[in-house]
Amino acid sequence: MPHALKNLSVLVSAGPTQERIDPVRFISNRSSGKQGFEIARAAEEAGAKVTLVSGPVNLKSPAGIERVNVHTAEEMKSEVMSRIDKCDVFFAVAAVTDFRPRKLLEQKLKRPTDLAQSELTIQLQTTDDIVQAVTAKHDRPYVVGFAAETNDVLKNARDKLMRKNLDVIVVNDVSDPTIGFEGDENQVTVVFPGSELELEKQSKYKIAQQVVELVANALPRSL
């Protein structure tokens, strides 16, 4: 395990993204970034040169890695794509916000004083799918997706594995409040095209170590 990723370049995306509505408000999600940071740490400990592209989180960087901070999905895509050609393995752990306001308001939106105007519509547009932009490339790295599901967990994971053309997907059931998102523990199933492995509930660091080891064993010999 200590040298499982020796001489390889690993890119990790982590955390949520924030999509601004006005100067003080944004749309985001509950991702803490913990699982992505632990993947970066485990990959570094396995001998890889690691770059972590992180959305806004409250975490210290693991030792020995390069960290790039971003806010929006667009920034995350640009930082990932500018490094992707030099990377051997991409772990897409980020919970990229799926929608952003169509327009960024330059001034703070005022609360309406008139009750008749108590409803507000903000037009949203979808953000780009970063991992799909990576897997669409001709000379692509080995790509590990992550998914948080609330229902039909394995079916949705297998669908995403195929649709996003991933090499493997790590899925957790976020309908269980004791795992995923903000917590320190996680329980995941690692889904390869022809097989799947359920890992027991344990710390996000131990999950990361096992995922890194499984990925290292699955890498093509050419790497």
Dihedral (C-alpha) 213, 31, 34, 40: value to the nearest 10 degrees?
A: 50
Active site residue 29: yes
Instruction: Give percent helix, percent strand, percent coil of the chain, each to the nearest 5.
Output: 25, 25, 45
Tokens of residue 178, six digits: 């004791």
CB of 14 to ligand C5P, least distance (A): 9
Reported in sequence order, the residue ranges of 162-207 that DSSP labels E, i.e. its strands, are 168-173, 185-186, 188-191, 196-198, 202-203
Output 89 or 92, the one with its CB closest to ligand C5P. Answer: 92
CB of 78 to ligand C5P, least distance (A): 13
CB of 22 to ligand C5P, least distance (A): 22
Output 46 or 76, the one with its CB closest to ligand C5P. Answer: 76
Output 6 or 30, the one with its CB closest to ligand C5P. Answer: 30
Cβ partners under 8 Å of residue 141, min gap 6? 11, 84, 87, 88, 89, 90, 134
Output 12 or 65, the one with its CB closest to ligand C5P. Answer: 12
- Contact 19/101 with Cβ under 8 angstroms? yes
CB of 178 to ligand C5P, least distance (A): 20
Among candidate residues 7, 29, 156, 172, the one labeled active-site is 29
Q: Which residues bind ligand C5P (CB under 6 A)?
A: 13, 73, 92, 94, 96, 127, 129-131, 145-147, 160, 164
Residues serving a catalytic function are: 29
